[in-house]
Structure 1
Amino acid sequence: MLQFRLLGPLEIVLPDGRILEPSSEKMCKILGILLLRNEVSSVDVLTRELWDDNPPRSALTTLQTYVYHTRRMFDQACETGEEKPSLVTRPPGYELKVPAEQVDTKVFERSVAKGRELLGEGDAEEAGSILRQGLALWRGPALANVDAGDVLRGHISHLEELRIRALELRIEADRARGQRRDLIPELRSLVVSYPLNEWFHSQLINELHHGGRRAEALQAYQDLRRILNDELGLEPMAEIRRLHRDLLASTA
């Protein structure tokens, strides 16, 4: 069966492993929206993604042509008797019916939800395993090879936020399993990748402090304070300032 990969460059993977490539950038945008929205995508939404606020007079006809070519692409890619994606016309637009297990974003979202549930129930080991599986689906920025418009950018931002949340949950699961020392190298990398994410910084400071590396923890705090001041003119949040005070008290 086909596999749709959006957590990285957009790829449609055929059952034999070959990559099916849409013939145009606008077909990629249409596929992205249809796969990411859990509802019918209206003609207005699709038109806005394809042409922003300046659609041509032929926008509706051109959109219908792209949809037609997308259907033909699926027809030609799927062998006789093989179940193929169903791209249906449904007022006020179109809907692409694909089983959730064939779309990596859907699999990822389910992994995060399940991992959060298991962690809440105290099963940190299984939660961590499921969250790692979900995070492993990422191959780079979502839809990295698509020139996203306003509509797709909103969905991509949601996915990136969910990725950060999945990382936070997995870190919490690892800590609950006693793997605290192993977190430090990853947290150092995360504060570089997400320099304004105070949660990652706070976890790095806390783990360095817990590991007896107080000087490094103090330096990590100063690094965060400098970044926030330079970029936003802000001080660290109250929780991190309290952690800093605890560090100073422990070195007195």
Structure 2
Amino acid sequence: MDIDVLGPLGVRVGGVAVMPTAPKPRKVLALLALHVDRVVPVGLLVEELWGERPPRSARTTVQTYILQLRELIGAALEQDAQGVEGVSAKDVLVTAPGGYVLRGGGGVSDVVEFERLAGMGYRAMDGEDFAGAARLLREALVLWSGSALADVRVGSPLEMEVRRLEETRLCALYQRIEADLRLGRHRELLGELTVLVSRYRTHENLHGQFMLALFRSGRRGEALSVYQRLRQALVSDLGLEPSPELRRLQQAILKTTVPTPHDARSEAVNVGARDRLARVG
């Protein structure tokens, strides 16, 4: 079974899609897919489907949705010429004490693969293998084809999962940009960072990286303007001032001569900015 959640929901058995069209069975499948090979309690499914006010028939209705999913899985198994003989839908979507388990059967889950590659990338960063880190984190991020569960109407439990996944995506993105900065790719990052700081208008780490990339590209005035826009957004949206680390980066840029191409890692900026970025990551 192959599972995609980093974008539109996709579940396939032997290449055959298992995808209910009704919103509530899709929610059930999404929760099961996110927790592949782990028990999903019936109570969690009920909360996802109806929130804090489930109907009296909630558990019976969940059983009905499970039966519908098993029918789709069974139809997919019949079409799978390479499938294991004797495997039934009940072997794939298993009833367990207190809930249900979707068995992955050794298939590929994009979220599991993302977490594996991102973890390797973080370890490469820790070992100062910046080229390896950039490559691994880039491979991890390519697995995202949109927002997590983009085509599912999420309830509270799934919304929490989506937020968690989006945060892991942003963390991997930040670390990949940091690796590219360590490799001197500041000019190549300017377009990407322009979009990111517009999307995340109060994200200090990304703004710090944008400031550093601009400064190293010989655009000190623009780097300082990024700081001022961030400060205005933080004050107006959150009532906060920029962090001490970001203020130190601003001061380092103010006091340091714009680097030439052969001096892109100006020591004064590196002391304030690179140290800040390394700690925040």
- Note whether the superposition's TM-score is higher than 0.5: yes
| Residue 242 of structure 1, CA deviation | 1.2
2:216 to 204, 210, 213: 210
Letter in 2 for 1:60: R
Return the alpha-carbon distance in structure 1 between the equivalents of residues 19 and 40 of structure 2: 22
Return the alpha-carbon distance in structure 1 between the equivalents of residues 33 and 17 of structure 2: 17
Q: 1:217-238, CA deviations, whole angstroms, 9 ceiling, x for partnerless residues?
A: 1111111111111211211111
Which residue of structure 1 aligns with residue 20 of structure 2? Answer: 22
Structure 2, unpaired ranges of 5+ = 258-281
* Partner SS for 1:181: helix
Return the alpha-carbon distance in structure 1 between the equivalents of residues 14 and 202 of structure 2: 41
TM-score computed with the length of structure 1 as normaliser = 0.91
Matched, 1:109 2:115: yes
Letter in 2 for 1:33: L
Query: Moved runs in structure 1, 4+ residues, more than 6 A?
Result: none
Q: 1:120-167, CA deviations, whole angstroms, 9 ceiling, x for partnerless residues?
A: 223222222221111111111111111101100111011000000110
2:147 to 136, 141, 144: 141
Which residue of structure 2 aligns with residue 201 of structure 1? Answer: 207
Letter in 2 for 1:160: E
CA contact (8 A) 1:125 1:173 kept: yes
What are the residue-to-residue correspondences of 1:1-252 with 2, within 5 Å?
A: 2-13=1-12, 15=14, 19-37=17-35, 39-78=38-77, 79=80, 82-83=83-84, 86-99=92-105, 101-250=107-256
CA contact (8 A) 1:33 1:152 kept: yes
Letter in 2 for 1:54: R
| Residue 100 of structure 1, CA deviation | 6.3
Residues 105, 99 of structure 1: alpha-carbon distance in 2 compared, 3 angstrom cutoff: farther
Return the alpha-carbon distance in structure 2 between the equivalents of residues 42 and 80 of structure 1: 32
Return the alpha-carbon distance in structure 1 between the equivalents of residues 57 and 203 of structure 2: 45
Return the alpha-carbon distance in structure 2 between the equivalents of residues 136 and 213 of structure 1: 30
| Residue 50 of structure 1, CA deviation | 0.7
Letter in 1 for 2:52: D
CA contact (8 A) 1:100 1:106 kept: no
CA contact (8 A) 1:100 1:107 kept: no
Paired positions, count = 249
* Partner SS for 2:163: helix
CA contact (8 A) 2:14 2:82 kept: no
* Partner SS for 1:182: helix
Identity %: 40
* Partner SS for 2:256: helix
Letter in 2 for 1:45: L
Return the alpha-carbon distance in structure 2 between the equivalents of residues 37 and 19 of structure 1: 18
CA contact (8 A) 1:40 1:93 kept: yes
Letter in 2 for 1:121: G
Structure 1 stretch displaced more, 120-129 or 41-50: 120-129
Return the alpha-carbon distance in structure 1 between the equivalents of residues 122 and 232 of structure 2: 33
Letter in 2 for 1:165: C
| Residue 7 of structure 1, CA deviation | 0.9
CA contact (8 A) 2:181 2:213 kept: no
Structure 1, unpaired ranges of 5+ = none
Return the alpha-carbon distance in structure 1 between the equivalents of residues 107 and 92 of structure 2: 15
| Residue 116 of structure 1, CA deviation | 0.8
Return the alpha-carbon distance in structure 1 between the equivalents of residues 12 and 157 of structure 2: 24
| Residue 20 of structure 1, CA deviation | 4.1
Structure 1 stretch displaced more, 62-71 or 175-184: 175-184
